[in-house]
Amino acid sequence: MATSFSRLPPLPPLRDFIHMYRLRAKKILSQNYLVDMNLTRKIVRTAGVQTGDWVCEVGPGPGGITRAILEADCERLDVVEIDQRFIPPLEHLAEAADGRLHIHHADVLKTNIGEIWAKEGLDRRKEWNDDSPSMHIIGNLPFNIASPLIIKLLKDMSYRRDAWQFGRVPLTLTFQMEVAKRICGPIDDDARARLSIMAQYLTEPKILFKIPGTFTSFLILNIYPQKIVCDHTVTAI
């Protein structure tokens, strides 16, 4: 089913929003803003977000992908953002989102997404080999946390804890090309590494498309949990 996009109440264009709140991407935090709404809508569309879904967005920044997720008519959107500068603009978005947007000012590396969802979403849990729950994790990751975060998420997935207590929750994330190739690297590829083995044993990673116009090459990956996986594999690799 194609993702349908609904209108939010009138909001300033994203570029004006960034200027209004004096937001600049910080090199020290390896930030990279996505301000083209056609691009952010494409990310959400390829992630498969549908009406009534629950989504957790990691590192929303000024809210480009956030807007697109809300437009896709999700029932609930939790955003995890460590940078205090982005909290006021996200609160601005929350006011227009009719109670669907929930902001968590926290470090995603220390955040248990499953605990956030468990407060109200226990009825969404599914058995591991059932169809995926109507839940998603999406994010435009700062490059300095991309590798440690995906390792953390894979480990949580292998234990079926955190978000994966709900079943096979898919990930749609941005990565620098180097990291993306390690995640998806085939057996005979020079880029293949331990991360390749971890990711491909636990999931079906797929490169969706390259983000156009970026100085450093970034790719959008969909990472879909495998149906049958032995528990605790990541700790053994």
Q: Which residues contact 146 (CB under 8 A, 6 or more apart)?
A: 173, 174, 175, 176, 179
> Three-class SS of residue 63?
coil
Any binding-site annotation on 59? Answer: yes
Amino acid at site 182 = R
Any binding-site annotation on 32? Answer: yes
Any binding-site annotation on 95? Answer: no
CA nearest 130: which of 164, 162, 94, 161? 164
Any binding-site annotation on 144? Answer: no
Any binding-site annotation on 140? Answer: yes
The vertex-74 CA angle with 44 and 55, nearest 5°, equals 65
Helix axes 64-71, 37-47, angle to 10 degrees: 60
> Three-class SS of residue 48?
coil
> Three-class SS of residue 35?
coil
> Three-class SS of residue 86?
helix
Contact 199, 183 (CB under 8 A): yes
Any binding-site annotation on 64? Answer: no
Binding residues for S-adenosyl-L-methionine: 32, 34, 59, 81, 107, 140
As annotated, the binding site includes 32, 34, 59, 81, 107, 140
